[in-house]
Every structure is written in structure tokens, then in C-alpha cells.
Structure 1
Amino acid sequence: MTPVALVLLAFSMSADAFAASISKGAELRRPRFRHAVGIGLVFGVVEAITPLLGWAAGVASQRFVQAWDHWVAFALLTAIGAHMVYAGLNKEEKIGHRRQTLWLLILTATATSLDAMAVGASLAFIDVDIVTTSLAIGLATTLMASIGTVLGHRLGRFVGHWAELIGGVVLIGIGCAVLAEHTGVFS
């Protein structure tokens, strides 16, 4: 995976967390810097772990799908990207003012990182350094969730939908690039 593709993947994986952190920031009304970084770290750590779990599952099943690995990667990335686009276009986000708890934050971070687990599984079928990729995803997510928390009380629902939509389009593009590279379209 090229450095540009890695950066695009990392930031596209952070789109769900960014959207969720905007909601968290709106719930806090005036998030302080330490709150934003704390929320960002929870999202980032969870988002860095889930691709590793998905990759491990993908490696375990790799011998069964070796001949179709590029199609599997393409299908998973495209499906996840399409789901993110759909969610970005159709989400009705409810911004309320409920009390934040660590468990609710971890649950939200886990829910937004399931797509990263599926991406991790798809990355097992291509030549990728999963540790570097997971760290990049975690770092990008920490950054974007921290920014989203700070911006949440000002931008509300509007930005969250666009972030998820753009992240989905990027994932679809990466899936198409994997397929094109392995089928020799650009050779």
C-alpha cells in the first residue's frame, strides 16, 4: 500500500468516529481540550485495535480464499464504503444533552470501529504492514475525534454526515484500486 493510500485509508476509517465525536462535543456543550483529547484517545485506541483483530481473522481464513483475495478485499471495502455513503446520506442524528460516561464512550467507539475490523480482514489478503496501518488508523482517528469533539457544539449534524459520506467514497476508491492492481488493469 502506498503512503498516500495509507493516509487516505486511515482518515476514511476515522470518518465514523469524527461524526460520532461531533455529537459527543455537542452533548458536552463546551468541550475543553482535555475532554476532546480524552474522547479522541478512546476512539483512536479502539479504532487501532479492531483492524488487528480483523486482520488476524483474515489471515486465518486466507488459505481458503487465496485465489479470490483481491475480489474479497474489493467486495469488503466497497460494501463498507457503500454503507458509509448510505449512512452519511440517510442519518438522522439526534443531538441531545445527556451525561457522558466512559462505558458509553467505549461502546460508541466500538460501534464506529466495526468497519475497521472488516477492513483489517480485507487487508490480510494484500501485502500490507498491519501494525503500521493500525497505528495510522488509530492516530488519524484520535486526531479527527478530538477535532470533532471541539467542533461539535458549533457544527452539529451537518459536518458529521459529510465526513461519513466522503470516507465511504474513499474506501470504495481504495477497493477499486486493489482490484485494478491485482487484475492487471493498470499494468
Structure 2
Amino acid sequence: MTTEPAGPAGSAGPTREPAPKSDTTTRSWLRDHSELGVCVLLLAIGTLVLTDALTMDVDIAQRGPIGPRTVPLVVGSALLLVAVLLAVDVLRGGRGEAESGEDVDLDEPADWRTVLLLSGVFLAAAVLIGPLGFPIAGALLFWGSAYALGSRHHDRDPLIAAVLSLATYFLFDNLLGVPLPGGPLMGVI
């Protein structure tokens, strides 16, 4: 039978000094709490939206009870609230679950054709909104997005796009008081 050397103050058994906090434990903690990065991003975006909304130069005369600051204030506040709630959940041990309901094959390459088509549609809408106005550029945006995402109903999609675009234009321009460029069609309608 062997005896262990006595530790400090005559205690029996081996003594071990506490291991210094290594870089691997820090990395492990960060890996286990990686969702905090999303919290930081949401917090930054929420702060940016609220700062922009509060420093917005607003005309005193409004068309209705809801001014142009209302939506950014609500969205910014919601972003901050979600950031805090998510951070609390992550620090209490909550973890996001992997998406199992998707039928996405991660071994397949990215669909660059769709990405490029959508990028082209968005860029074209941004360029055309000035000269053609929102109703036409918006209709092209809605129809082009549907086409890029796989819809091939050539008789129905342009009609739906036109209705969506005109409804969006009238909603923003008349009800919300956000002026959008009307283009040549607004003289006819």
C-alpha cells in the first residue's frame, strides 16, 4: 500500500492546482453559445433602426394618425426585444434545433441561376422605378421574382403582379402618405 503525499495544511490526498482557463474552454463556450452572435446582430440593427427613426426629419403636417416614424420605431423596438429574449434563452441553455422538415440536399450545389435572376430583377426594378414609376417597376419586380423562383403561369402571373403593384402603390401613396413615383401611368389612372 502506497501513501499519497500530504497536501497543504496536512490534508490527505494529492493536491492539484486549478487549471488555468485555457483558450480551448473559451472557444468551447463560444461554440456552445454561438446564437449570441445573432443576438448581437439583432441588437445592432435594432439600435440603428431606432436611432434613424428618432433622428428622422419629419414634416409636422401628417396625412393621418400614423406618421413615418411609427413603423421604424415598432420594428426597432421589436428587434431589441427579440435580441434580449433570445440572449436570455441562449444563456439559460436553449439551443436552436436543426431544421429537419426541409427537403434540401446540402450536397447539391447552389442554384446560381435563380440567385442571378433575382439579383437582376431587383437591380432592374431599382433602375426603372425613377423613369417608369413604382406601378410598372413594381409589377416587373413581382412578375420577375415569381418567374425566377419557378412560376411558369405566363397568363396569370403578369396580372397578379400588376394588381399587387397597384395595390401597394395606392396603399403607400394614399393611405400611409409615403409618396412613391407614379410614372406615366398615374396620369392615365
TM-score by length of 1: 0.27
Work out which of the two has the higher radius of gyration on C-alpha atoms and give 1 or 2.
Answer: 2
TM-score by length of 2: 0.26
Higher relative contact order (CA 8 A, sep 6+): 1
More helix, by proportion: 1
